[in-house]
Structure 1
Amino acid sequence: MKEKNSNSFFSKLKQKYRLIVMSDSTLEDRLSFRFSGVDVITVLTIGCILLFVCFLLLVGYTPLNEYVPGKASSHLYKELIAITLKTDSLEKKLLVNELYLKNISAIVNGEDPINLSTENILTLSSFEAELSFKKSKEDSLLRIAVEAEDKISLSSSDKKGSLDMENILFFSPIKGVITNGFNRKKEHFGTDIVAKEDEPIKCVFDGVIVISHWTSETGYVIGVQHANGVFSLYKHNSILFKNTGEYVKSGEVIAIIGNSGELSSGPHLHFELWHKGTPVNPENYISF
């Protein structure tokens, strides 16, 4: 019985039909179409396939693809890539700053400084291996190299061409009268200079600002890390013009003389000079 039904179904599909278009006034045949059920199914299938292909082409190669739910626009992709590259650069800058701060801490504490020329590159190389944006590797390494050259290398392992304290021409931070000199026994590791009110304080040598803050005892304090393990410190200021991480040149104004801090008895500058973690007498190298 089932075989008869299936045979009758296929026979109906193969059965021919004729579609005639006649004139209403003369009853004359205008058009005539002869087809079967199989022809109708074939035409519909091909039509659906063509429509599906056209839809895929429109969605894939025209701006209509931005309206597909869950698919981001090309502009959003570009912004995402730009943000990722900026994040990559910021992470490397933070890493370099961290190495600089570690080096400065080691120098101030009298420990062996970190060799940035080797540890910096090795650390960044391992950091680069975790990133998927390979195109930014060369750019990031070049940026680190340029920053290291511009801001001053803190490494003391390379003795060739290094300057001694006697060979460095220091700029006087301020012109005034010395009221209290350097005294290691009394743990007064600097020189106190009294000058005119609102007198600008200048950097003694090229370097990078590593301290720029306020404390209750010394008031507004600013410190500069120079080449060859030299460090200069300026205390009791009224105004600070530079922030941590900025590069300053010799003679550039960095603060204004003041009377800030509990340890200050009047407007003056307390100036300290350190070399490789050891305080030295500023009067031996600078004329105030």
Structure 2
Amino acid sequence: MAKKKKEQKKITKKLLNKYRLVILNEDTFEERISFKLTRLNVFVLVMITTVVLISCTTFLIAFTPLREYIPGYSSTSLDLKASRLVTTADSLKAVINVRQEYFNSIKKVLNGEVKTVEFDIDSALQSQKLNPQEVDLNPSEEDIQLREEVSREDKYSLFESEKSSAGFSLFPPVQGSITSLYDANEKHYAVDIAVPKDTPVKAAAAGTVIFAEWTSETGHVIILDHGNNLLTVYKHNASLTKQQGEQVKEGEVIATAGSTGELSTGPHLHFELWKDGYHTDPSKFIDFE
């Protein structure tokens, strides 16, 4: 242990021993500059100098154009120029291919293989831009479902400006032949759809049953409130499956078609659509056939 302490003191003494660095005039031996140094000072000075040099070099490489002269680095402008050159080369290649096809057509005429040149440069240029053989034009299953959904929204949305606020689309309550169209002049504010008796009548959209009663003229009647001042009315039903105050989902069965009421002439659904207190032609928003 004593020997170890002795060696440590010896090393410390060497590090702290003072030396003098003197610069003399060679002819006159006149002292010009002198420095008092220790080994520890020299070590610290060398480390600081090394750190400063590394930091300066890193800064020059990272934040100045000097990095462009280092292999492996490239500037943004050079990348843009390279991209433009690639695009230009592709365009030139397409033009050369078109010209070659045109020359081949002329060659066939000169050789007597064909009598006239049937070549459209515009069509050839367009074919060079996009090769249909390389593009998969078959829609995916997700794409088909999205197209159908958008198609239904565009077709059955009552008002385009209120599509997002309404949050639903209108679907046909029944599928059948229209026997009587909407005619405001004749005060027929509905569409009559002929269907077999006891055909399920479905809700055109989600809503609340605000009326479900029997009337002498229109038989079993059910009215749904869908919010946004939108009402749908279903008349001449054989029976009702929902009561006043119940909540229904779109497509849920709310009645069965029939021919009840004094004004009915056969099994059908009398369907009305009211918006903001005004009657509206349902066939403009729903495809019943």
Q: TM-score range by the shorter chain?
A: 0.3 to 0.5
Larger RCO, structure (CA 8 Å, separation 6 or more): 1
* TM-score with structure 2 setting the length: 0.43
Structure number with larger C-alpha Rg: 2
